[in-house]
Amino acid sequence: MGLTWKDRGSGELRRLDLEGIFVQIGLLPNTEWLKGTLELTPRGEIVVDDRCRTSLAGVFAGGDATTVPYKQIIIAMGSGATAALSAFDYLVRTSAPAIAAAGSRG
């Protein structure tokens, strides 16, 4: 197992043999489309509480696009499960008219 890449300067193919690899594809989330809808940090992360609730009632978020620390795949999967369970709990405990009338975290 290893990593093979093309050197952009020389065009040369290079290889590094490895026992394992963790690939990080970026540091800034793609949340531009949420501006003005949900509370975002200056870095573009979706602000969530401990139940993955956002600033908009009935909207939950999880994973690397949120303020959840230690953004690795297993952490993202866990926060996604928390968001799903929180959304389910919200729907079970909230009636449709109350959802329409709500304007912030529920």
- pLDDT score at 14: 94
Stronger pLDDT, 104 or 66, i.e. the higher one: 66
Residue 22 makes CB contacts below 8 A (sequence gap 6+) with: 72
* Residue boundaries of the structural domains of the chain: 28-101
User: Per residue, what are the HEC states of 25-36?
Assistant: CCCCCCCHHHCC
CA distances from 35 to 31, 39, 59 (A): 7, 8, 14
Rounded to whole angstroms, the Cα distance separating 75 from 89 reads 21
Q: Three-state SS for 60?
A: strand
- The answer to whether the CB of 2 falls within 8 A of the CB of 15 is yes
pLDDT digits (tens, 9 = 90+) for 28-63: 888 999 999 999 999 999 999 999 999 999 999 988
pLDDT at 25 over 70: no
Task: Provide the 10 A C-beta neighbour count for residue 46.
Answer: 24
Q: pTM of the full predicted structure?
A: 0.58
CATH of 28-101, one of 3.60.20.10, 3.40.50.2020, 3.50.50.60, 3.30.460.80: 3.50.50.60
